[in-house]
């Protein structure tokens, strides 16, 4: 038994979410890389035998569909085409995971999720209940976004963010984001070969974001989306690792804390609840509210709601319940929340005191229950 196996077996039960990107789970032609799936399936089985629970978040449906139709070249961009390709490729992807798990006596359970499953409390609890029941049945959940019917305006866009939300959903101890790189490097490997591995990250900042490249040919994510996912997960208290999906025993080493397995992101001590995590990182912003120094101080230090009197400028088009960014006097975004006052009536509320507002407008532009401070 290896040192990593021994460490994994010695732990109390832990829950791990494993996200496998398209560039890892598929070959250059878009077909499923069976060696990767079989290897990870064996690791999931070994972790299960040691008493741990695993969720697999697997990309690759669109790439599989593209390959099944005999197409070549880069990923299409038209949403309708992507939806059709996902419908063709999703069951092929699931069959690969079931084939990988079957020799170990395990059953895969397909779970297709959409943003609304996290944005509404009832659906959130239903999604959580489904995953927990699958655990109880000894089934390995294999999660993907429901790309075949996802609308452009209400979709995750990549499975990195989805995996961070799933990690929060199931109360995971660890999120492992598997890719075709050894972790976050000091230089984009596509631009040079001088980069070295960044082994530990306490906080994702602008410097780290500057090191991330864009998405690959067959995927929609890339290192930038993995950094965003790591930030989401660590803000919900989940330790996160970006690692090479082709590394032997990568999951066991990640769970046991073996040095050098990848880039480790340490969880924050203060955790965001699920709803605020969704507001902060999963919802696209429809506009920006610029506030004065007093309002910024009230939001950051006082935990207050944003009142119309503190807003000096409003940009973009948004309605009630749309997400908006909140920027200080210098233009730097420091918070995000759900608007209560619509942009098409900004002349009636922008900069006004509460007693000057029309009776049908709420007293807050963004209520503190719908607001997340990001600094």
Tens digits of residue pLDDT in 121-166: 788 889 999 999 999 999 999 999 887 666 554 455 578 989 998 9
- Distance separating alpha carbons of residues 203 and 226, to the nearest angstrom: 14
What is the distance between the terminal CA atoms of the chain, rounded to a whole angstrom?
Answer: 45
Q: Is the pLDDT of residue 209 over 80?
A: no
Q: What is the pLDDT of residues 61-91, one digit of tens each?
A: 988 999 999 877 677 778 888 889 999 999 9
Looking at residue 337, the DSSP 8-state letter turns out to be E
Q: Quote the tokens at residue 40.
A: 């990870």
87: Cα separation from own chain's centroid: 22
Q: Which of 71-85, 150-164, 174-188, 189-203 has the lowest mean pLDDT?
A: 150-164
Domains of the chain, CATH where assigned: 3-272 (3.40.1160.10), 284-373 (2.30.130.10)
Looking at residue 364, its pLDDT comes to 97
**Residue 128: partners with Cβ closer than 8 Å, 6 or more residues away:** 169, 170
Q: What number is the average pLDDT over the span 14-24?
A: 94
Q: Is the pLDDT of residue 303 over 80?
A: yes
107 within 8 A of 98, measured Cβ to Cβ: yes
- pLDDT band for position 210 (50/70/90)? low
**Residue burial 297-327, b: 16+ Cβ < 10 Å; e: rest:** ebbeeeebbbbbbbbeebeeebeeebbbbbb
Position with higher pLDDT, 122 vs 357: 357
Q: What is the pLDDT of residues 312-348, one digit of tens each?
A: 999 999 999 999 999 999 999 999 999 999 999 999 9
199 within 8 A of 242, measured Cβ to Cβ: no
Dihedral, CA of residue 18, residue 24, residue 30 and residue 36, to nearest 10: -80
Q: Is the pLDDT of residue 243 over 90?
A: yes
Q: Is the pLDDT of residue 195 over 70?
A: yes
Q: How far is CA 79 from CA 83, 130, 151, 177, in A?
A: 6, 28, 8, 25
**Share of residues in the chain with pLDDT > 90 (%):** 60
148 within 8 A of 83, measured Cβ to Cβ: yes
In 3D, which of 57, 109, 95 has the Cα closest to residue 240?
57
Q: Quote the tokens at residue 43.
A: 């690791």
**Residue 284: partners with Cβ closer than 8 Å, 6 or more residues away:** 153, 323
- Distance separating alpha carbons of residues 20 and 70, to the nearest angstrom: 23
**Residue 91: partners with Cβ closer than 8 Å, 6 or more residues away:** none
Looking at residue 109, its pLDDT comes to 98
Q: What number is the average pLDDT over the span 179-185?
A: 88
Q: Is the pLDDT of residue 50 over 70?
A: yes
Burial degree of 202 (CB within 10 A; 0-12, 13-18, 19+): exposed
The beta strand positions in the chain, using DSSP E, are: 15-20, 53-58, 107-113, 139-145, 174-179, 200-201, 239-244, 262-265, 287-291, 311-316, 323-327, 333-338, 371-373
- pLDDT band for position 9 (50/70/90)? very low
User: Considering the chain, what is the average pLDDT of its residues?
Assistant: 87
- Distance separating alpha carbons of residues 208 and 195, to the nearest angstrom: 13
């Amino acid at each position: 038994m290896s040192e990593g196996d021994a460490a994994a077996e010695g732990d109390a039960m832990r829950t791990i979410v494993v996200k496998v990107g398209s560039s890892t789970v598929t070959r250059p032609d878009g077909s499923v890389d069976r060696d990767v799936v079989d290897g990870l399936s064996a690791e999931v089985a070994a972790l299960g035998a040691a008493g741990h629970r695993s969720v697999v978040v697997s990309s690759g449906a669109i790439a599989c569909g593209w390959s099944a139709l005999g197409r070549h070249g880069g990923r299409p961009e038209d949403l309708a085409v992507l939806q059709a390709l996902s419908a063709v490729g999703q069951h092929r992807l699931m069959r690969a995971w079931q084939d990988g798990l079957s020799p170990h006596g395990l059953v895969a359970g397909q779970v297709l999720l959409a943003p609304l499953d996290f944005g509404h409390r009832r659906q959130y609890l239903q999604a959580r209940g489904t995953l927990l029941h699958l655990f109880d049945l000894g089934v390995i959940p294999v999660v993907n976004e429901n790309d075949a019917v996802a609308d452009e305006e209400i979709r995750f866009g990549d499975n990195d963010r989805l995996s961070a939300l799933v990690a929060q959903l199931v109360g995971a101890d660890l999120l492992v984001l598997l890719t075709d790189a050894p972790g976050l490097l000091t230089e984009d490997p596509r631009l040079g070969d001088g980069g070295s591995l960044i082994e530990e990250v306490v906080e994702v900042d602008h410097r780290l974001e500057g090191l991330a490249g864009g998405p690959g040919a067959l995927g929609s994510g890339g290192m930038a989306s993995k950094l965003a996912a790591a930030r989401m997960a660590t803000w919900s208290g989940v330790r996160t690792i970006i690692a090479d999906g082709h590394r032997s025993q990568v999951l066991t080493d990640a769970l046991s804390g073996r040095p050098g397995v990848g880039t480790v992101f340490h969880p924050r001590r203060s955790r965001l609840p699920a709803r605020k995590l969704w507001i902060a990182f999963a919802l696209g912003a429809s506009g920006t509210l610029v506030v004065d120094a007093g309002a910024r101080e009230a939001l950051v230090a006082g935990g207050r709601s944003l009142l119309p009197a503190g807003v000096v400028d409003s940009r973009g088009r948004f309605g009630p319940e749309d997400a908006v960014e909140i920027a200080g006097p210098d233009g730097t975004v420091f918070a995000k929340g759900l608007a209560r006052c619509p942009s098409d009536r900004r002349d009636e509320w922008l900069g006004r005191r509460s007693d000057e507002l029309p009776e049908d407008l709420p007293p807050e532009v963004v209520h503190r229950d719908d607001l997340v401070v990001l600094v």
